[in-house]
A and B are shown apart, each in its own frame.
Chain A
Amino acid sequence: MSATQILFWILSVVALFSAIMVLLSKNPVHSVLWLIAVFFSISGHYILLNAQFLAIVNMIVYAGAIMVLFLFVVMLMNLNKETEPQKNLWLKLAGVVSGGCLLMILVSLIRQASEVTNKQVLLKDGNIGLIKNLGKALFSDYVVPFEISSVLFLSAMIGAVVIGKKN
């Protein structure tokens, strides 16, 4: 087993464990911190796949900006475990069973699918994830969606201000 494979397994275990802890934590602040751990392990997966630009963007945008926003809102509301409402046990059990059934069905489909058998993912090699190549594609073929996304950001900013304004 090579070093990249060992790293893959470590990162996968960290990601799944942290994702489960997001659900199991009673305190919302702990949930946010576990979700940051998930995002960092997914960034590690991107580095392993040699998608360096996406790894850095994932760290800056998700683990940096979005999760700090979440943490800010959680601390603004002063939520703690006494005030958190709980669903009753049967609804929780039904949710877990339905999610598990979906996972089981999808995994069994993937095991039989002929399109993905004997296909290998190129790890730690290939240059399509580098900033140079992604930037060339982004600013030549995909420049119109890129500019439209700036308009989307502007409308989201105005929308957030309008919604959050006290009236």
Chain B
Amino acid sequence: MPIQYYIVLSLALFCIGIVGVLTRRNAIIIFMCIELMLNAVNLLLVAFSKMHHNTVLAADKATQAGIEGQLFVFFIMVVAAAEVSVGLAIIVMMFRNTHSVDVNFLNRLKN
């Protein structure tokens, strides 16, 4: 499978996430779109890892090249899990104060 297909698929998912962040006002949906963008990047990292592995595999049969990409995806998932727990706590706190998840209420830092 050519790498271009994976790149275009990931770019499409990423741009759908960007459109979601730009067009919705619900804080939870915006947060979900950020997760979608993270996953698009993860998919592209795995595809590039397998592409690099494929090019090195022609010269060396026992190679482990490209494993760093998949480990990087693992660490991205770790950071994303931590980020989601803190972010959802912030959204819950915001809902408790303003009784809404509309991000337009957050246009000032005071009050």
User: In the assembled complex, how far is the CB of residue B20 from the closest CB belonging to chain A, in whole angstroms?
Assistant: 5
Query: Is A116's CB under 8 angstroms from B36's CB?
Result: no
Query: Is A103's CB under 8 angstroms from B15's CB?
Result: yes
**Contact A54/B47 with A119-B55, A149-B79 known, Cβ cut-off 8 Å:** no
A73 to B94 Cα, complex, angstroms = 12
Query: Is B23's CB under 8 angstroms from A152's CB?
Result: no
Chain B residues near A8 (CB-CB < 8 A) = 1, 5
Interface size on A, residues (CB 8 A): 85
In the complex, whether A128 has a CB less than 8 A from a CB of chain B is yes
- Name the residue on A nearest B78 (C-beta): A149
Interface residues of B (CB under 8 A from A): 1-9, 11-13, 15-20, 22-26, 28-29, 31-33, 35-36, 39, 42-43, 46-47, 49-51, 53-55, 57, 64-68, 70-71, 73-75, 77-86, 88-93, 95-96, 100-102, 104
A64 to B39 Cα, complex, angstroms = 15
Query: Is B11's CB under 8 angstroms from A110's CB?
Result: yes
User: In the assembled complex, how far is the CB of residue B67 from the closest CB belonging to chain A, in whole angstroms?
Assistant: 5
CB < 8 Å: which of B23, B53, B100 contacts A92?
Answer: B23
Query: Is B70's CB under 8 angstroms from A107's CB?
Result: no
Query: Is A54's CB under 8 angstroms from B3's CB?
Result: no
- Name the residue on A nearest B3 (C-beta): A119
A163 to B86 Cα, complex, angstroms = 8
Query: Is A16's CB under 8 angstroms from B77's CB?
Result: no
Chain B residues near A83 (CB-CB < 8 A) = 100
A91 to B75 Cα, complex, angstroms = 35
User: In the assembled complex, how far is the CB of residue B79 from the closest CB belonging to chain A, in whole angstroms?
Assistant: 7
A163 to B88 Cα, complex, angstroms = 10
